[in-house]
Structure 1
Amino acid sequence: MRVIGDEVPYARWLLARLRDRSTSPEEFRRYMREAGRLLAIYSSRELEWVKVSVTTPLGAQAEELELASPPLVVGVLGAALPLVEGYAEVFPSSRIGLVAARRLESEGEVRVELYYRRLPRVHTGSAVVLDPMLATGKTIDRVIEEVKSIGAGKVIVGSVIASRPGLSYIGRRHPDVMIYSLAVDPDLDSRFFIVPGLGDAGDRSLGVSPD
């Protein structure tokens, strides 16, 4: 995996604002969109590229790169919406998929149910799964399985903060998947929230809490 915050001080600056409990929902969404742009840029090395020749204003030819095919970007509702928006600003040709998941907790165990899917029937190119928080890894695991089931040739995961237990879980379940995250935090609390984390990313983005 790649921890962007270890390489880019700007990522740590973003994290300071995302973690801060005094950050407003409007600001939180803006910083999440910027995190999506960072994830798009730094994970782009995992995508398939082709060489192209372009003509400059001087009439000279320059060899550069274009995407071989648009990636499928899958966001987990609703926390990932700003991330998806930021990613698509970098790669506007991206195909967008959405899934919604609910976490079912019982006797210290976590199960995940996907209750909404908006994915193409077939996608054989690269797929990027975006979720701000990779906590237990159970939600990401289910989404990866869904994306693989439609034929994705390569799966990349992007998160803002990942937990060490969640990374270990995904590593065991999907050793072929590359993970990019701005930061890795050590623990989960009794409610399976990442600690120190940034709280509930969905609630903070929306500015509301569920009843």
Structure 2
Amino acid sequence: MSPFDPFVHVIDHPLVQHKLTLMRQKTASTTSFRTLLNELAMLMAYEVTRDMPTQEIQIDTPLETMTGRVIDGKKLALVSILRAGTGILDGFLSVVPGARVGHIGLYRDPTTLQAVEYYFKMPKEMEVRDVVVVDPMLATGHSAIAAITRIKATRPKSIKFVCLLTCPEGVKALREAHPDVHIFTAAIDRQLNSHGYILPGLGDAGDRIFGTQ
């Protein structure tokens, strides 16, 4: 993985890094973790949607008529990889409330670490939509690769993948499987451990969001 890969975007804004550091702490409560994730996702959404197309419309200000630019949020599809992707999804919807939402349910087989699908529901007319896939962690890359492969079958205009954390192994796997997909993350951590968890990471994001083990 090249640090200069134009398809890999590390969002290093100070506010993003500040909130990520607070989330990493094992002493962070479920409530705190969930709140920080929502805030961090909102901040990341601004960068991820930087190139979202706009159109001109005519409006009346209190003083005169002018031409302004607006986005068509309905052309954006946010796809959450269940269950942990929900935490990022909520933050993105706060920024682009008109976006359509899809869900794909995947779990990681504890023995093979491969992704197993159990649910798939997308908005209609995916061929006119730009897709942003959200999942807190890009570790082995198996879940992200499986999700994007399924989504590509709906023939969307474009696909981006957004995660809080990843590692060289995850980035390499996703780039090789889907070289046309841009990856947005807040940090690229050191490595995976033998159980497929990111180091130093922040633990199991789903468990920390929902208070489970």
- TM-score normalised to structure 2 length: 0.91
Distance verdict in 2 for CA 1:184–1:53, change over 3 Å: farther
Q: CA RMSD in A?
A: 1.5
Q: 1:33 aligns with which of 38, 48, 55?
A: 38
- Give the residue type in structure 2 aligned to 1:36: A
Matched, 1:89 2:94: yes
Q: How many residues end up aligned between the 2 structures?
A: 205
The alpha carbon displacement at 1:49 in A equals 2.5
> What is the CA deviation profile of residues 4-59 of structure 1, one whole-angstrom value per residue up to 9, with x for unaligned ones?
12xx1111111111101111101111111112212221110243332333322221
Gaps of 5+ in 2: 1-7
The alpha carbon displacement at 1:123 in A equals 0.5
Distance 2:178 2:116 in 1: 19
> Could you say what secondary structure the match of 1:22 adopts?
coil
Q: Which residue of 1 aligns with 2:114?
A: 111
Matched, 1:157 2:161: yes
Distance 2:133 2:89 in 1: 9
Distance 2:89 2:20 in 1: 17
Matched, 1:79 2:84: yes
Distance 1:98 1:46 in 2: 24
Say if 1:130 and 1:159, in contact at 8 Å, map to a contact too: yes
Percent identity of equivalent pairs: 29
Q: Which residue of 1 aligns with 2:103?
A: 98
> Could you say what secondary structure the match of 1:29 adopts?
helix
The more displaced of 13-22 and 110-119 is: 110-119
The alpha carbon displacement at 1:105 in A equals 4.0
The alpha carbon displacement at 1:68 in A equals 6.9
Matched, 1:198 2:202: yes
Q: 1:144 aligns with which of 148, 153, 163?
A: 148
Matched, 1:2 2:5: no
Distance 2:59 2:156 in 1: 30
> Could you say what secondary structure the match of 1:45 adopts?
coil
Query: 5 Å matches for 1:163-202?
Result: 163-202=167-206
Distance verdict in 2 for CA 1:138–1:46, change over 3 Å: farther
- Give the residue type in structure 2 aligned to 1:114: E
- Give the residue type in structure 2 aligned to 1:71: L
Distance verdict in 2 for CA 1:122–1:64, change over 3 Å: closer
- TM-score normalised to structure 1 length: 0.91
The alpha carbon displacement at 1:121 in A equals 5.0
> Could you say what secondary structure the match of 1:40 adopts?
helix
Matched, 1:123 2:130: no
The more displaced of 16-25 and 46-55 is: 46-55
Distance 1:29 1:23 in 2: 10
Gaps of 5+ in 1: none
The more displaced of 190-199 and 35-44 is: 35-44
